[in-house]
Homo-oligomer: A and B are copies of this chain.
Amino acid sequence: MQLHRLKLVTIIVEQILQEQIVAKARELGATGCTWSESKGEGSRGARHDVVSGGNVKIEIVCPGDVAEAILTFVSHNYFENYACIAWLSDVEVMRGARYLTKKA
């Protein structure tokens, strides 16, 4: 079986930001996104504040450069002012071409 190494971007963020993050991820080269409801409590910056309800977990399988661009976008735009965590992990997929945007 031939497997292709890609990155999984996981973002947990306030529900209100879901549409714009998915749109931006597509613009940055992601061929697809999935999301589901999530709840959480945690720290935001220096403060520890409860962030209850209304969160969404977004997952995106994509090449490493796209993953880093998405993570950078999320970090720069939301980490300061929103309850938001995000991470990258390594995944292996079959038919890796499905996760590549056709370059113009």
Contacts of A90 in B (CB 8 A): 89-90
A 88-103 to B, binary, CB cutoff 8 A, 1 in contact else 0: 1111111100100000
Contact A41 B32 (CB under 8 A): yes
Interface residue SS majority, chain A: strand
Chain A residues within CB distance 8 Å of chain B: 1, 3, 6, 8, 10, 12, 22, 31-43, 45, 48, 55, 57, 59, 61, 68, 71-72, 75, 79, 85-95, 98
In the bound complex, how far is the Cα of B94 from the Cα of A68, in angstroms?
Answer: 10
Given contacts A1-B72, A72-B94, contact A35 B40 (CB under 8 A): yes
In the bound complex, how far is the Cα of B72 from the Cα of A71, in angstroms?
Answer: 30
